[in-house]
Amino acid sequence: MRSASGGHETLLPAVPVPPRAPRRFHATAKLNPLRISRDAAQIAEEIVQRLAGVVDTDVEVTVEIQARTAEGFPSEVVRAVSENGQTLKLDSFGFEEQ
Tell me the pLDDT tens digit for each residue of 21-41: 999 999 999 999 999 999 999
Sorted by sequence, the CB contacts under 8 Å of residue 31 that are 6+ apart come out as 39, 40
Q: Give the pTM.
A: 0.71
Closest CA to 60 of 68, 51, 69: 51
pLDDT, residue 54, reads 98
Given a contact cutoff of 8 angstroms between Cβ atoms, the answer to whether 92 and 63 are in contact is: no
CA distance linking residue 81 with residue 98, whole number of Å:
18
CA distance linking residue 68 with residue 95, whole number of Å:
10
